[in-house]
């Protein structure tokens, strides 16, 4: 067995499919750190996911929804003018912004929504930051005829107002959360508290590769369609794999979805975290690059915390990246060196946002703009015959209020 | 015999259930917190659960969330809670259980936590978000077995899982009274009695029931079958409602006395 010794224990490196182990651990990370009231529910979920998701009935229903409803496959687009501006490698965009509801989040909510449906649950709850996961969950609930309640921080309700209106139109109840900094972490706290009281008939649709096992693996599996498509599309487009993949990392779902099917390939993977107002200011959401190992929201991974183990508030101009935790599989990819993680500031993301609008006629989400910003820097360091796939995880209509 | 066993054995002989009191250490500030706790201990409290404040208490309702936030605002660190424990221990012989989320213990280092807690005179620890599936990583680093690890059983826990939990438990078993966070309402006394009976049939450990219990008549009803009744949010509510009241400490003492009479069968 090929193993890696880390400060937290041994990690098995025998292929991506080795993770997580049967206890939900990605090497030293992951696991299930929740109160006993929720343990039976997540154990049941793990069993339901393992038994239902591989069945032809489930897979067929999901494929139909992804294709006919969400609009998959999404295109892979060679952004020539952006590439020329960066001056170097070809920048190729995976257009998750073109899915129904406008972000990759729908891939996961359709998967989890169907699983809820197959297990007889009639109510969905979710936390949301940017509102994209909330909108995708509300959409799925409407489609499947389920009740829906979305927890969203007060600050995020303010800065992502268009998505609040969308969720309400879709029949969801948006519950404002004012504790902490009124952002994604606080919304997730409240969703977990609500779930404890409603666990018998309610399915908690976690929006990223975070949370207790089986969520990190399950959400990754529902998102890996991004990478599976992109891998085939790039081979069709240029006859070879790309040299690098770039994706923004909040909780890490769009990045895991793109990276996972390429893990065995000899290409670079780069996760871009929110550098906020600059790492030196302390106002950032650079969890992997600046954080330390801790337990938050049910799993062990990197977190932003003080020396007493109190979780710190994150900062990012983009609500979807404004989170002091990160999925455990990213922690492992960082530890093993399989992926690298970098940061991009608010200002750099804003500048990339504007550039993409003007040069390609694409309005990206502020989250995705972080990936675009770094891809431009990375492209400049590479030669013209190289290529980089960037996950354009969402569209930016929701962010117009922040920009004006 | 350790303090936990001792306490429950003596209470059983007297025909009483234990009054277990939870307060967050350092709420509203360290000085008053210490006075409150010492007064509670002197007023008939049988077991003290001392809460270590955490920034993201996902198992707690609004009252304990706010108590945790007040304590953190005052700068409480885990080392301060250890000092407080030492100081309480100097004035009482009742069992002291430290109540925490896992992250502060992880940051402190589980081995150091054990050494400090034992040295300070704590008898057990309850880590609300550390299920038996993950707890070996903490206890595996403990250099001894002088600290009981109190385990939770919930209304959602299936029967065979109760066996699994009970098997590894020491000290006492904590039965969560309802599917909800701390301080929520809607007690189902019949379900509590049924779950208490099941736990008694599979474990010889004392069974304490908690989450959202405040009324003396509920305390009396639960005390009829359970070995202990845990009161948390109700105490914290009093602290919160009397932040500026110079009589806060007297009120806490009187409340403990009143609730203690309800645990006498
Ligand atoms: C468009 C978009 N991209 C990225 C993210 C960040 O989440 P993740 O890291 O899980 O992909 C969000 C989250 O709200 C989002 O809306």
Residues in chain A within 8 Å Cβ distance of B78: 308-309
Confidence at residue A17, expressed as pLDDT on a 0 to 100 scale: 58
Q: What's phi and psi for A206, nearest 5 deg?
A: -75, 140
For ligand 1, atom 14: residue with the closest CA: A320
Spell out the alpha helix ranges (H) of A99-174: 105-118, 132-144, 154-159, 161-169
> DSSP string of A229-240?
HHHHHHHHHHSS
Residue B216 sits in a domain of what CATH number? 3.20.20.70
Confidence at residue A9, expressed as pLDDT on a 0 to 100 scale: 40
Strands B47-51 and B18-24: parallel
Beta carbons of A364 and A396 less than 8 angstroms apart: yes
Q: Please report which confidence band the pLDDT of residue B1 belongs to, taking 50, 70 and 90 as the band edges.
A: low
pLDDT (average), residues A279-303: 98
| A393 a catalytic residue | yes
> Which atom of ligand 1 is the closest one to the Cα of A256?
11
Is B265 domain-assigned?
no
Cβ of A293 within 8 Å of Cβ of B184? The answer is no
In the block, residue with structure tokens 């030492």: B86
pLDDT (average), residues A169-197: 96
B157 close contact with A: CB closer than 8 A: yes
For A71, the token pair is: 């609009």
> Which atom of ligand 1 is the closest one to the Cα of A394?
1
- Tens digit of each residue's pLDDT (9 = 90 or more) over A340-349: 999 999 999 9
Residues in chain B within 8 Å Cβ distance of A197: 179-181, 184
Beta carbons of B140 and B114 less than 8 angstroms apart: no
Cβ of B129 within 8 Å of Cβ of A200? The answer is no
Instruction: Check A94, A105, A121, A398 and give the catalytic one.
Output: A105
How many residues belong to chain A? 404
- Return the axis-axis angle of helices A328-336 and A215-223, rounded to nearest 10°: 80
Nearest CA-CA distance, residue A36 and chain B, Å: 6
Beta carbons of A8 and A28 less than 8 angstroms apart: yes
Is B174 domain-assigned?
yes
Is B108 domain-assigned?
yes
Contact map slice: B 37-56 vs A, CB within 8 A: 54-56
Beta carbons of A112 and A218 less than 8 angstroms apart: yes
Residue B185's Cβ-side half-sphere holds a number of Cα atoms within 13 Å equal to 1
For A211, the token pair is: 């949370």
Domain count, chain B: 1
Q: Please report which confidence band the pLDDT of residue A7 belongs to, taking 50, 70 and 90 as the band edges.
A: very low
Inform me whether the pLDDT recorded for A10 exceeds 50.
no
Is B155 domain-assigned?
yes
pLDDT (average), residues B80-109: 98
Q: Which of A23, A28, A30, A36 to mutate to test the interface with B (most CBs of B within 10 A)?
A: A36
Residues in chain B within 8 Å Cβ distance of A34: 129, 131
So what's the ipTM on this one?
0.96
Inform me whether the pLDDT recorded for A404 exceeds 90.
no
Q: Is the pTM of this model over 0.90?
A: yes
Is B92 domain-assigned?
yes
Is B99 domain-assigned?
yes
Q: A93: which residues sit within 8 A by CB, 6+ positions away?
A: A76, A77, A78, A79, A360, A362, A389, A390, A392
Cβ of A37 within 8 Å of Cβ of B156? The answer is yes
> Which atom of ligand 1 is the closest one to the Cα of A128?
14
Beta carbons of A357 and A350 less than 8 angstroms apart: no
What is the rounded distance in angstroms from the CA atom of residue B159 to the CA atom of residue A11? 34
pLDDT (average), residues A100-104: 98
- Tens digit of each residue's pLDDT (9 = 90 or more) over A338-386: 999 999 999 999 999 999 999 999 999 999 999 999 999 999 999 999 9
Strands A29-30 and A25-26: antiparallel
Range of the domain at B215: 3-260
Nearest CA-CA distance, residue A178 and chain B, Å: 11
Query: Which residues of B are catalytically annotated?
Result: 49, 60
Is B163 domain-assigned?
yes
Inform me whether the pLDDT recorded for B232 exceeds 50.
yes
Q: Which of A37, A204, A206, A311 to mutate to test the interface with B (most CBs of B within 10 A)?
A: A37
Inform me whether the pLDDT recorded for A18 exceeds 80.
no
Confidence at residue A64, expressed as pLDDT on a 0 to 100 scale: 98
């Amino acid at each position: 067995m090929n193993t890696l010794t880390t400060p937290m224990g041994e990690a098995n490196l025998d292929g991506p499919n080795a993770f997580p182990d049967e206890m939900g651990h990605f090497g030293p990370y992951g696991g299930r750190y929740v109160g006993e009231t929720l343990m039976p529910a997540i154990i049941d979920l793990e069993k339901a996911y393992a038994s239902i998701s591989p069945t032809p009935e489930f897979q067929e229903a999901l494929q139909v929804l992804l294709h006919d409803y969400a609009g998959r496959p999404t295109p892979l687009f060679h952004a020539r003018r952006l590439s020329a501006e960066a001056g170097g490698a070809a920048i190729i965009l995976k257009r998750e912004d073109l899915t129904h509801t406008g972000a990759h989040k729908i891939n996961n909510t359709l998967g989890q929504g169907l699983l809820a449906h197959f297990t007889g649950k009639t109510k969905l709850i979710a936390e949301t930051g940017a509102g994209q996961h909330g909108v995708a969950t509300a959409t799925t609930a409407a489609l499947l005829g389920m009740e829906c309640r979305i927890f969203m921080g007060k600050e995020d309700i303010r800065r992502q107002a268009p998505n609040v209106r969308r969720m309400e139109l879709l029949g969801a109840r948006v519950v404002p959360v004012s504790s902490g900094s009124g952002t994604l972490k606080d919304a997730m706290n409240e969703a977990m508290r609500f779930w404890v009281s409603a666990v018998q008939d309610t399915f908690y649709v976690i929006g990223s590769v975070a949370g207790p096992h089986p969520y990190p693996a399950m959400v990754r599996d529902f998102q890996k369609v991004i990478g599976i498509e992109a891998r085939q599309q790039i081979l069709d487009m240029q006859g070879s794999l790309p040299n690098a993949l770039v994706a923004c990392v909040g909780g890490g779902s769009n990045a895991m979805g793109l990276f996972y099917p390429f893990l065995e390939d000899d290409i670079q993977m780069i996760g871009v975290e929110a550098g906020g107002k600059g790492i030196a200011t302390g106002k950032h959401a650079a969890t992997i690059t600046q954080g330390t190992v801790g337990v938050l929201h049910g799993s062990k991974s990197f977190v932003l915390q003080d020396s007493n183990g109190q979780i710190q508030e994150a900062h990012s101009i983009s609500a979807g990246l404004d989170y002091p935790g990160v999925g455990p599989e990213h922690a492992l990819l960082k530890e093993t060196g399989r992926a690298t993680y970098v940061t991009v500031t608010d200002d750099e993301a804003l500048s990339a946002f504007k550039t993409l609008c003007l040069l390609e006629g694409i309005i990206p989400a502020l989250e995705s703009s972080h990936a675009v910003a770094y891809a431009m820097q990375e492209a400049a360091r590479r030669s013209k015959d190289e290529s980089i796939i960037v996950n354009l995880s969402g569209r930016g209509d929701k962010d117009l209020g922040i920009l004006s | 015999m350790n303090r936990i066993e001792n306490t429950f054995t003596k209470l059983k002989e007297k025909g009483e259930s234990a009054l277990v009191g939870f307060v967050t250490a350092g709420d509203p500030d360290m000085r008053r917190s210490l006075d409150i706790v010492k007064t509670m201990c002197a007023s008939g409290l049988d077991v003290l659960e001392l809460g270590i404040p955490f920034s993201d208490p996902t198992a707690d309702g609004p009252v304990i969330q706010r108590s945790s936030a007040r304590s953190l605002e005052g700068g409480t660190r885990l080392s301060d809670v250890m000092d407080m424990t030492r100081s309480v221990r100097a004035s009482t012989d009742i069992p002291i259980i430290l109540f925490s989320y896992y992250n502060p213990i992880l940051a402190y280092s589980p081995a150091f936590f054990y050494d400090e807690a034992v040295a300070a005179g704590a008898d057990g620890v309850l880590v609300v978000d550390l299920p038996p599936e993950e707890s070996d990583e903490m206890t595996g680093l403990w250099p001894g077995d002088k600290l009981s690890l109190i385990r939770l059983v919930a209304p959602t826990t299936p029967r065979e899982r109760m066996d699994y939990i009970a098997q590894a438990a020491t000290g006492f078993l904590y039965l969560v009274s309802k599917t909800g966070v701390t301080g929520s309402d809607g007690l189902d006394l019949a379900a509590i009695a049924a779950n208490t009976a099941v736990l008694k049939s599979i474990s010889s450990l004392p069974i304490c029931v908690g989450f959202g219990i405040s009324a003396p008549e509920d305390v009396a009803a639960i005390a009829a079958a359970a070995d202990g009744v845990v009161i948390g949010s109700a105490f914290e509510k009093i602290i919160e409602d009397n932040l500026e009241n110079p009589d806060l400490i007297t009120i806490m003492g009187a409340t403990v006395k009143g609730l203690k009479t309800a645990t006498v069968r």
